Amino acid sequence: MLARRVLPVVAASAAGVALLLFPVVFRGPFPLHVMIMTFLFALMAVAWNIMGGYAGMFSFGQAAFFGIGAYTSSWLLVAHGVSPWIGLLAGGATAALTAAAIGIPCSNLRGHYFAIASIAFAEIVRIHFNNWKLVGAAEGLTIPMLPQGLASFQFHQSKAPYYYIALAFLLLALAVSWWVARSRMGYYFRAIKESHDLAMVLGISFVRYRMWAIMLSAFLTGVAGTFYAQYILYLDPESVLILPISVQVVLIAMLGGAGSILGPVIGAVVLVPLSEVTRVELGYKGTGLDMMIYGALITIISVYQPKGVWGLLYGLGARRPAAPDGPPALAGPEGK
């Protein structure tokens, strides 16, 4: 019995130490880049999970919030010299407000219709930015090189500071996700996912709580966007606003286990390094082999373990099939 209690603590501590020491051991830019991208996509998948996994709103438009976050902080910096840290909050807030504006007309769309609307919304945003002179249109924005440091959110010599910042953002997002899952809001999200009618007879305002889910998710995704802009120091519509980013986020969350707190992180840990490594090792040959391997893995997991990797791990750890805190079944779009 003791082992069951102690084991997770030991495992978590070991993982924590390993994460802190990783940049000390691996100093090369590529391993750090892979880890940073993993944290970034994990952050976005955790954000997606709040609206998609908990509340059942399948957004295929997260790239819009990501791009809006990136553009908001970058434009504030380029045009007005505003600190990226203020830009970060402004980016998250702008993404959340945009989400609210788009959420109102979409508030009664369910299941596939919501997913379709989210794609349309993200494409409109992309095309708009492609033609918007204020933010550089198709040429995008180049962030000026400033003296490096935490204040300027720029680090030129090593990627390690980006690594720690991304990790910190991910942990904050996980804390938000954990808090939501345990609060009234999280219970209401799950009721909304289960059934519109049931939610209403429990006194839950469908529109209000869906709005909360979209705004929370958009805020965190916008923060991820600002981070990415400060990491790459250059952005254009094709690098932050495109559909493949949205799809990647959904795949990561679904593959890891939508609806659970840690599932999206596990999905990112499996998929992002795979995608980065296959791209670098195999992509240049022009055979598309990297995408084939990537696609095959996604197919295998979704066919054999529809609850995601998290469901698989959970099943191995706990032998009770219907454990009370077990992961829910793969979250289908509501209205099944």
- Rg from Cα positions in the chain: 20
Q: Which is nearer to another protein, 202 or 289 (CB)?
A: 202
Per-residue buried b or exposed e for 260-289, using 16+ beta carbons within 10 Å of the residue's own CB: bbbbbbbbbbbbbebbbebeeebbeeeeee
Binding part of the chain for another protein, among 64-72, 131-139, 177-185, 277-285 by CB under 8 A, reads 177-185
Closest distance of CB 107 from another protein, Å: 12
Closest distance of CB 191 from another protein, Å: 5
In the chain, DSSP assigns E strands to: 141-142, 234-235
Please state the separation of Cα 119 from the chain's center in Å: 16
Report yes or no: 53 and 258 within 8 Å, Cβ to Cβ.
yes
Binding residues among 316-335 for another protein as defined by CB under 8 A: 322, 324, 326, 328-329
How far is residue 262's CA from residue 330's CA, in Å, rounded to a whole number? 14
Asked if 195 touches another protein (CB under 8 A), the answer is: yes
Q: Which is nearer to another protein, 204 or 249 (CB)?
A: 204
Closest distance of CB 290 from another protein, Å: 35
Asked if 108 touches another protein (CB under 8 A), the answer is: no
Closest distance of CB 332 from another protein, Å: 11
Asked if 131 touches another protein (CB under 8 A), the answer is: no
How far is residue 162's CA from residue 130's CA, in Å, rounded to a whole number? 28
One of 9, 24, 201, 316 touching another protein (CB under 8 A): 201
> In which element (H, E) is residue 98 found?
helix 84-106
One of 27, 112, 156, 184 touching another protein (CB under 8 A): 184
Q: Which is nearer to another protein, 192 or 235 (CB)?
A: 192
Q: Which is nearer to another protein, 80 or 320 (CB)?
A: 320
> In which element (H, E) is residue 172 found?
helix 160-182
Asked if 190 touches another protein (CB under 8 A), the answer is: yes
Helix (H, G, I), strand (E, B) or coil at 154: strand
Report the amino acid identity of residue 320.
R
Q: Which is nearer to another protein, 159 or 190 (CB)?
A: 190
Per-residue buried b or exposed e for 62-93, using 16+ beta carbons within 10 Å of the residue's own CB: bbbbbbbbbbbbbbbbeeeeeebeebbebbbb
Asked if 206 touches another protein (CB under 8 A), the answer is: yes
Asked if 203 touches another protein (CB under 8 A), the answer is: yes
Asked if 211 touches another protein (CB under 8 A), the answer is: no
One of 15, 18, 21, 202 touching another protein (CB under 8 A): 202
Asked if 178 touches another protein (CB under 8 A), the answer is: no
Q: Which is nearer to another protein, 5 or 320 (CB)?
A: 320
Nearest to 114 by CA among 67, 66, 61, 64: 61
Q: What is the dihedral of CA 159, 63, 224, 71, to 10 degrees?
A: 90
Residue at token pair 């980016």: 91
Under rule CB under 8 A, how many of the chain's residues touch another protein? 25
Q: Build a one-symbol-per-residue string for 257-276: x at contacts with another protein by CB under 8 A, - elsewhere.
A: --x-----------------
Closest distance of CB 2 from another protein, Å: 22
Dihedral of CA 327/335/47/202: which sign?
negative
Asked if 315 touches another protein (CB under 8 A), the answer is: no
Dihedral of CA 160/164/169/175: which sign?
positive
Report yes or no: 68 and 241 within 8 Å, Cβ to Cβ.
no
Site for another protein, rule CB under 8 A: 182-184, 187-188, 190-191, 194-195, 197-206, 259, 322, 324, 326, 328-329
